[in-house]
Amino acid sequence: MMNYEELVYEKGCKNYNKYIKKYFDLIEKEEIRSCIEQKLLVKIVKTALLTEDLTINDNQIEKYFSYQKYFPFNLFDWEKFVFILHNCVFRKDGLPRWSDLFILGGRGLGKNGYLSFEDFCLITPTNGIREYHIDISANSEDQAKITFEEIYNILEDGPYSNKLKKFFSWTQTKIKNKQTNSIIRYRTNNPKGKDGLRPGKVDFDEPHQYENWNNINVFTTALGKKPHPRRTYVSTNGDVRDGPLDNLIEKSEMILKGEMKDNGFLPFICKLDDEKEVDDPKNWEKANPSLPFLPSLFDEMLKEYDDYKVNPIVNASFMTKRMNIPKDSEDNVVATKDNIIATNKTLPNLKGKQCLGGIDLMKKNDFLSACLLFKVDSIYYVITHTWVCKYSADLYRIRAPLKEWEAMGLLTFVNEKEIDPQVAVDWMLEQSVNNDYQIKKVAGDDYRWNLLKEALENSGMDTKKVRISDKMRIAPVIDSAFTSQKIIWGDNPLMRWATNNTILVPAINGNFKYQKQESKSRKNDPFMALVHAFTLTEEINLENSEEVFMAPLLF
């Protein structure tokens, strides 16, 4: 394939741009250290520029970049690269080639600075679209205001404030370009009341804080009513797993590896390739390509690195936030991200197999969960169901998509003041009858045993009251099952959520006990039901084998 430089001599040269070429050189000639995601992105972008019928609007680019004089910084090379691709490269039909931009970089990269410059530019006449409104969304008002306030401060107190008054009007909640009538606003994480928006672009600041897509979907479904709809996601990594950020990362990886078409999605990811690289500070620019130009930030990171080496658990945020390599928090996670994802495999036909039952009930007006645990050829298979009280005082705190999970058949909402534990027992009996499951024994937490005892005993099933010591003894077995990826529960986001909501904290005599990440919004009842079932494996041989019978011999 013709290299990018040779494109200059092609007729028209419309896909050549000096800023794009400079970033290509930085990565390909290894003038800066970069992660594999950057190398793959350069390859993908170059291929698109060389093979697709695209146009780069150089006049528009230079006009946009002239606005840097209003800002207290100049754009870095990486910022110019993504800005041009996102805003100034167009398809044959006139639409943006890369309408969705995802920036994932280490803390201090300058994501909000980039966002403020991009938003400022797109509401000016240079964009060429009137009423190109921009909504900035984040999980909290303080976060959503960061980008807005950067632009506001430039207009209010910057050296060009008097000049800019001719073209802009602004308050503490709205910035408007007088010529285009385009408006920038910031929004909070509550999706209610946002229908009817007509934005041209939506920003999502730190999507690692989101546990579901509700708020994001409200904004994105409003796009398309204005020409050239765009999305910009900017984030560091975080501690919320199986949420929108993980989905965005997974999508990015598939695009970069050529497993799916990009459909206008531009994944700009900066991270270490391996956590061992952290011990060489020269590698840190892999996660933050702005770092070589920010000596004060580099000095601060050296101090944080020293703290991390002394106590990597307490200072895990250095890896998660600075290097974009998620690490365990202060407490121990139950299972790694990869091992939790590995549970998503198809369940086999378990008809006629023996199994163990587990029930977890913390409060009758909250969550109730039940599970059946099977073991076939050393693999643990899990079937679960959860009941949620509609009157739970914690429901408004929970950002997980419970309604979606209800539609998947993973949970049932109970429209009563309390959940009757009998529903869990009835579910187990129904599963047993319909599938010929042989339930050997059912376990429940001794903390709420009196609430479960009557329903369980009336069922005629053998039961066990689980004590804290039982759960501590079985924790290493569960850990081993996750580590060896021998736990399978199918596509069950409710179980993944509940598992991610659970941590192991030190207990006496070198043991560990299970605990919620957070008591109100991070429910873990489905996982604890599984733990209770696992405690029964200490006394019951659960192993089922796939028996193979020899065909009869004929004489």
Q: Kindly list the domain boundaries of the chain, sorted by start residue.
A: 5-270, 276-330, 337-544
Tell me if domain 5-270 and domain 337-544 are identical in fold.
no
Q: For residue range 224-279, list pLDDT tens digits in order.
A: 678 999 999 999 987 666 678 888 998 999 999 998 899 999 999 999 999 999 99
- Give me the CATH topology for the region 337-544: Nucleotidyltransferase; domain 5 (3.30.420)
pLDDT of residue 173: 92
Strand-pair category, 502-506 with 332-333: antiparallel
**Is the Cβ–Cβ distance between 377 and 545 less than 8 Å?**
yes
Strand-pair category, 168-170 with 175-177: antiparallel
Q: For residue range 75-118, list pLDDT tens digits in order.
A: 999 999 999 999 999 999 999 999 999 999 999 999 999 999 99
pLDDT of residue 463: 87
DSSP string, 407-426: HTTSEEEE-SSS--THHHHH
Q: For residue range 463-503, list pLDDT tens digits in order.
A: 888 888 899 999 999 999 999 999 999 999 999 999 999 98
pLDDT of residue 536: 95
Name the residue with tokens 């041209």.
200
On the 0-12 / 13-18 / 19+ scale of CB atoms within 10 A, 352 is: exposed
Among candidate residues 86, 82, 80, the one with its CA nearest the CA of residue 98? 86
Structure-token pair, residue 320 = 């998660």
**433 three-class SS:** helix
Helices and strands (H and E) in the chain: how many: 18, 21
In 343-455, at which residue ranges do the beta strands (DSSP E only) sit? 354-361, 367-376, 379-389, 411-414, 438-445
| Core vs surface per residue 398-420: b (16+ CB within 10 A) or e | bbbbbeebeeeebbebbeeeebe
Using the 8-state DSSP alphabet, how is residue 431 labeled?
H
Residue ranges of the chain with pLDDT lower than 50? 1-2, 8-13, 191, 193-196, 329-331, 547-555
pLDDT of residue 330: 44
Q: How far is CA 496 from the centre of its chain?
A: 13
pTM, rounded to two decimals? 0.67
What CATH number is given for 5-270 in this structure? 3.40.50.300
pLDDT of residue 425: 92
Structure-token pair, residue 220 = 């994105």
**Is the Cβ–Cβ distance between 184 and 134 less than 8 Å?**
yes
Q: For residue range 166-178, list pLDDT tens digits in order.
A: 999 999 999 999 9
Amino acid, single-letter form, for residue 508: I
pLDDT of residue 197: 58
Name the residue with tokens 């029930």.
359
pLDDT of residue 244: 83
